[in-house]
Structure 1
Amino acid sequence: MTYSPKDYKSDQYVRWCPGCGDHAVLSCLHKAMAEIGTSPDNMAVISGIGCSSRLPYYMNTYGFHTIHGRGAAIATGVKTARPDISVWLVTGDGDCLAIGGNHFIHAVRRNVDLNVVLMNNKIYGLTKGQYSPTSDRGFVSKSSPYGTVEDPFVPAELTLGARGNFFARGIDTDAANLTAIFAASARHRGAAVTEVLVNCVIFNNGTHTGITDREVRAERSIFLRHGEKMIFGKNRDKGLVLDGLKLKAVTIGEDGYTMDDILVHDAHERDNTLHLMLAMMSGDLPVALGIIRDVDAPTYDESVHQQIAEVKAKKKAHSLRDMLLSGDTWEVK
């Protein structure tokens, strides 16, 4: 059968603020799922607590709205019990990286075959505007009236530090590329983490405008595609090169730099050194969007079931009755 985005939509009224970036994420998920073609009854969408975690209600699939930060643990159990279905974990920067941080890094480390959609608006929205684990140092909020005095997590750094094999970054205002990223996440075997930079119009409006605004996006971001030159800029005349052990943004045709000097993106390289450098770009360097890392590796859920099959094959007892009647038996009269 073929499916359309509406086949994945529930009949529930979508309860997010008008203008919230979560609306775009939901729409892109519907489109990506239709593109992949997995039937709705072979999918499960798991979430924790937060604005983003309302999403399972708006999916015509199996879903589980769990408790704060525990979505990754529940999703791991679902996928391990039913490795044949597609499992999505929808979470936010607070839900995933604060109380849920331990579950998140271990799901990534284990390489559980989950599609993690991490919506990052750098704020706690559902609980009305406290700073989150991704809020910038000095950020003024209801819980930090004089500015935060701590450095934030960078989701990419945390994912790759936990030995993640898939990391992508998208923005809520670029539906076409975000849909393509979600589809690639679904095709990847293993833990696939997609950070989505979303806007909270109520408590942190404009936090990503330095990247997402159409007027500056071409100059301040670079969309990476495997096998293609790392080029960006409004006129597609800028690119990334290695300057010693650091990345450098150059203008093609100036200072002796030619197209041949521009790096080619290899998302499948097993060594994640360059992937981490790309994911951490800031300041004078453009912010990396697209699929930064996509590497095959054994998955936790498949390995568990393979191990069970191997152990059962070596055992003489294949049922409880076989086990009870094995070895020395006697009858008491």
Structure 2
Amino acid sequence: MTTLDEPVQVEEEQQPISGLALVPRGPQGQKPADYRSDQEVRWCPGCGDYIILSTVQAMLPTLGLQKENLVFVSGIGCSSRFPYYLDTYGMHSIHGRAPAIATGLAVARPDLSVWVITGDGDALSIGGNHLIHALRRNVNITVLLFNNRVYGLTKGQYSPTSNQGMVTKSSPLGAPDAPFNPVSLALGAEASFVARALDSDREGLADVLRQAAEHRGASLVEIYQNCPIFNDGAFDVLKQPGSDRHLVRLVPGSPVGLGELDDQGRHSHLVVREGGALRVVARDEADPAQVLVHDPADPDPTTAFALSRLSTQDLSHVVTGVFRAVSRPAYDDDVRRQGEDASKASPPDLEDLIFDGDVWSVPSHRGASA
């Protein structure tokens, strides 16, 4: 584990990185502590945001970027305090509108690595439209969606990811809504990079965050994050001994499985295809021809979407890792290219522009009474 004062060396062969190719490189030997601001970190004791912040601060030096070219944009919510605690540029913006502001930054400044910090309420309620269109457009931004399945900052109302029937201050008889699956939503919006991680899994979270940053295009990482005040223990089943029977950890090129490993490193249960659906079966019941081998680079999102539906709201099965990582043109690259092409063209004659297309004359009515 990297400490806050341990220098991080960046290997030369890792550069340039396609998703960060236009971002200026920083000095060697950056430390996680270099990304710690002078602001006092203030979340509730036990909040999962602390470990996410620590993991991000430890991961950023490995990207090898100039700190001045990193920007974190947040909306409104507990997670949105994040930019204060990083020694980078940042903006605490408007409720749900962080993806829109980040889009403008990405288009105007290709030399920036642009991040969005948001929560399940901020991103999926008031900010839902902004999020899905940023993903659809494939803007070169990295979205970290902290999901604690409740509104924390506004004191415990149910959110778009709360379990149906959850009793909160705004749902004393139980939440009537069917919850969103953020990974399914992102895949449905054709995001080119989609992943999920746990706040307590520092190694897995750091690996996913680095891949998301290096990806060129829209990246969304859903992070299961505990709220100790209003939804404490929501993800405890994934953090206790025996959690392997619930967790499906995606590894590219490997069979998709879960459960305890045998002495040959094989899972006790595997994910198989049955028709157009996926199902979890015991290893000795699995048809080898039907066992799913993970391929996040598959251009067809159908299998990735099916994997996202394998995750259950009651956490009996939860899929983590990178669901999808495909290459397609980034919106901001295309917008800048259009501007460059337009600037090279000869400017049209003003009179030709005025009289181009459908025009008509308005006759004079001299002498008409007012």
Separation of aligned partners in 2, 1:233 and 1:256: 14
Paired position in structure 1 for 2:139: 112
Hey, what does 2:244 align to over in structure 1? 218
SS at match of 1:293: strand
Contact 2:270 2:286 in 1 (8 A): no
TM-score for both structures, normalised by structure 2? 0.82
Q: Distance in 2 between matches of 1:95 and 1:246?
A: 32
1:227-277, Cα deviation, whole Å (9 max, x unpaired): 22212212222211112221121222x23645x653210000010000001
Distance 1:200 1:256 in 2: 38
Partner of 1:308: 339
Alignment deviations for residues 77-112 of structure 1 (CA, whole Å, 9 cap, x no partner): 111110111000000000111111111111111110
2:253 aligns to what? 227
User: Does 2:222 align with 1:192?
Assistant: no
Partners of 2:212 and 2:230 in 1: CA distance: 30
1:35 matched to 2:55? The reply is no
Report what 1:100 is aligned to.
127
1:272 to 272, 281, 301: 301
CA distance in 1, matches of 2:94, 2:223: 21
Matched position secondary structure for 1:180: helix
AA matched with 1:246: A
Moved more, 286-295 or 243-252: 243-252
Q: Does structure 2 conserve the Cα–Cα contact (< 8 Å) formed by 1:249 and 1:285? A: no
**Which residue number corresponds to residue 81 of structure 2?**
54
- Matching of residue 14 in structure 1 with residue 41 in structure 2: yes
Residue equivalent to 2:292: 263
Judge conservation of contact 1:250–1:257 (CA < 8 Å) in 2. Answer: no
- How big is the alpha-carbon RMSD for the aligned residues of Structure 1 and Structure 2? 1.8
Q: In structure 1, what is the Cα distance between the partners aligned to 2:46 and 2:89? A: 27
Residues in 1 aligned to 2:42 and 2:286: alpha-carbon distance in whole angstroms:
54
**CA contact 1:251–1:257 (8 Å) conserved in 2:** no
Alignment of 1:283-298 (within 5 A): 283=312, 286-298=317-329
Counterpart-to-counterpart distance in 2, 1:147 and 1:162: 29
Tell me, yes or no, if the aligned pair for 1:159 and 1:167 is still in contact at 8 Å.
yes
Alpha carbons of structure 1 residues 72 and 256: separation in structure 2 relative to 1, 3 Å: closer
2:190 to 158, 163, 172: 163
Structure 1 equivalent of residue 21 of structure 2: none
User: Helix, strand or coil: the match of 1:196?
Assistant: strand
Deviations 1:140-180 (A, max 9, x none): 00000000111111111211111111110000110000000
Is 100-109 or 222-231 further displaced after alignment? 222-231
In structure 1, the partner of 2:160 is 133
Gaps of 5+ in 2: 1-26, 262-266, 354-370
**1:123 corresponds to which residue?**
150
Q: Using the aligned pairs only, state the percent identity.
A: 44
Between structure 1 and structure 2, the one with the greater Rg is 2
Mapped to 1, the partners of 2:286 and 2:98 lie a distance apart of: 51
Q: Contact 1:131–1:139 at 8 Å: present in 2 too?
A: yes
> Conserved in 1, the CA contact under 8 Å of 2:138 and 2:217?
yes
The match for 1:25 is 52
